[in-house]
Amino acid sequence: MTTRAEIQQELRSFLPAGQEARFNAYFSLVERAAHIGYWRYDLSDQSHFWSPGMYRLMGIDPADRKPDNDWLRRQLPAKGQAQVAEMLARAIRTRAPFSYRLTDVTLGPLLSGAAGQVIDMHGEVEVGDNGRVTALIGVCQNVTQRVRDEEVRALAQEQYRAMTREASDIIIFYTASGDILFASEALERILGRAAQEIERGKFYDIVHPDDLGEARKLSIIPRRGQTLTATYRVRHRDGGYIWLEVVTRTIYDDATGAVRNIVSVSRDITARKAHEQELAAARERAEAANQAKSRFLANMSHELRTPLNAIIGFTEMMRQKMLGPLGNPRYEEYAGIIHRSAQHLLDLISDMLDMAKIEAGKLKLNFEQVDLKGTIDDVTCLMTDRADTAGVAITVEPMTPVFLTADRRAVKQVLLNLLSNAIKFTPRGGKVSIAVHKIADKIRVVVSDTGIGISAEDLKRLGTPFEQGRSNPFLAQGGTGLGLALIKALSESHGGGATIESTEGYGTTVSVDFASTPKARAAA
């Protein structure tokens, strides 16, 4: 074993000869800075030696008390007294170094009798020239604050682990070099992986090959306050792939500005991705079906219209008796029925084709100067026969000539649909009125009727393609339910819109706006 003389000689060897006073000053400075104290217990005369640091550590003034075994022992709890005695006896017996942590130590009056202190003690036995143990020497350090800090950190760490243990997301703390400091249990639960399997770049081995570029977006260290996000697939231990949404942030040391570590939070979004893919597939199927419908209707336009035009043309010739009498008055009635039915069917087909073009974004409009008053007069003349047959009077309120930039055919179609609907739902003896107003930069056409009106419940559904004003099949009139939808779509394509007001049993008013100039249309 090392003797006291050998220790002293080794310490003095670091300084030039004659510098013992300076050595003692240095040693005292070290004791003060490190909060340590040196002590020696001589077995031959049972005397104690305490360094100045030992007195400071124990809170005792050297002038008031000399080192005392009994005093020191009384500062320890009973259990600690027995353990220290056994430790020192074992060190003397085995001549081995000893180390012990003293807890619940009470310090002296200079430290206001501080209790519950924690002192770490490390020492060795001193062997004399005769080979026998002559003394015990040791160093004590007050580690109370360090122990308290460690306990607080341990408690916080345990609380954090408890919090992350049940978290559904994978939470990982790692260094800038990729060493994982902490990984929540969700890593094993979601991916079936341990932390050592993914640290230091090994993580990329389990990323889906197609997603490596996305995953490497997180290989850089985020700047202060920056958040990086990436979405990619990672292979589970069982071979399947899991979609993860990963967010990373950097934790910086506030004092130095250096990177302390990086935190990443990974969420399993496999179910969400499957749902998104399902929706995308359904949307693609719907779009494909819609395109097929549009192609079918476009291809059928000539096939449907050509025979209908022939039917209408020939029945018109029969009604006008262009080749002479039909021979039987009933044939004239039949020819009229055929003509009206064919015309009605042609109107329905035209509405369907136009609606299909609008939905497909393929309706082409030819904008030009349109005389709105003249167009209303033309449409009124066309609908006179139908109104007379239905016993409905059409009145046009006085108006000055009005011109707007629009597609002539679209404006006429809107007016025809407005009048057709108004006549269709107005009982015999009722009336339909048409008025035109200029409001700001728009022209408003208002068509009112004294018809059966629409209930508040049915009013909500109008304007949707194929919805009719009456959900009751016994009350609903013929048609596809495209009339108002076409009116709205065509008016909106002219920078305007359509509104409908109705009271069941009293009638309906539909207002349609057209932008008076192409500029208003573009702004819409």
Tokens of 348: 């329905």
Total residue count of the chain as it appears in this document: 524
Asked whether residue 398 carries a pLDDT value surpassing 70, the answer given is yes
What CA–CA distance (Å, rounded) separates 9 from 216?
A: 60
Asked whether residue 141 carries a pLDDT value surpassing 80, the answer given is yes
Task: Give the domains, in start order, of the chain with CATH numbers.
Answer: 4-145 (3.30.450.20), 166-268 (3.30.450.20), 275-357 (1.10.287), 365-523 (3.30.565.10)
Identify whether the C-beta of residue 138 lies closer than 8 Å to the C-beta of residue 123: yes
Q: Which amino acid is at 402?
A: V
Strand order through the sheet with 180-183? 180-183, 170-174, 259-268, 241-252, 228-235
Tokens of 401: 């000539």
Asked whether residue 472 carries a pLDDT value surpassing 70, the answer given is no
Phi, psi of 68 (to 5 degrees): -145, 120
Is the C-alpha dihedral spanning 44, 45, 47, 49 positive or negative? negative
What CA–CA distance (Å, rounded) separates 473 from 458?
A: 13
Asked whether residue 343 carries a pLDDT value surpassing 80, the answer given is no
Q: What's residue 97's pLDDT?
A: 93
Where do the H-state alpha helices sit in 49-173? 52-58, 69-74, 78-94, 144-165
Identify whether the C-beta of residue 432 lies closer than 8 Å to the C-beta of residue 387: yes
Asked whether residue 470 carries a pLDDT value surpassing 50, the answer given is no
Q: How many CB atoms neighbour CB 299 within 10 A?
A: 9
Predicted model pTM: 0.41
What CA–CA distance (Å, rounded) separates 489 from 498?
A: 9
Q: Which residues pair with 140 in a beta bridge?
A: 37, 121
Identify whether the C-beta of residue 512 lies closer than 8 Å to the C-beta of residue 487: yes
Identify whether the C-beta of residue 491 lies closer than 8 Å to the C-beta of residue 407: no
Mean pLDDT of 95-122: 83
Nearest residue to 361 via CA among 410, 292, 305, 291: 291
Asked whether residue 416 carries a pLDDT value surpassing 80, the answer given is yes
Crossing angle for the helix pair 329-359 and 408-424, to the nearest 10 degrees:
120
What CA–CA distance (Å, rounded) separates 433 from 497?
A: 20
E-strand ranges in 258-401 read: 259-268, 367-371, 393-396
Q: What's residue 258's pLDDT?
A: 84
Q: Model confidence over 269-323: pLDDT tens digits?
A: 999 999 999 999 999 988 888 777 767 666 666 567 777 777 777 777 777 777 7
Asked whether residue 477 carries a pLDDT value surpassing 50, the answer given is no
Q: Model confidence over 494-512: pLDDT tens digits?
A: 888 888 998 888 899 999 9
What CA–CA distance (Å, rounded) separates 51 from 181?
A: 42
Helix, coil or strand: residue 518: helix
What CA–CA distance (Å, rounded) separates 524 from 521?
A: 5
Higher pLDDT, 304 or 193: 193
Residue with tokens 């050509």: 306
Asked whether residue 333 carries a pLDDT value surpassing 50, the answer given is yes
Q: Which residues pair with 293 in a beta bridge?
A: none
Q: What is the mean pLDDT of the chain?
A: 80
**pLDDT band for position 168 (cuts 50, 70, 90):** confident
DSSP one-letter string for 42-71: ETTTTEEEE-HHHHHHHT--TTT----HHH
Q: What's residue 23's pLDDT?
A: 56
Q: What's residue 344's pLDDT?
A: 67
Identify whether the C-beta of residue 237 lies closer than 8 Å to the C-beta of residue 191: yes
Phi, psi of 38 (to 5 degrees): -110, 140
What CA–CA distance (Å, rounded) separates 197 from 181?
A: 13
Tokens of 184: 């929540």
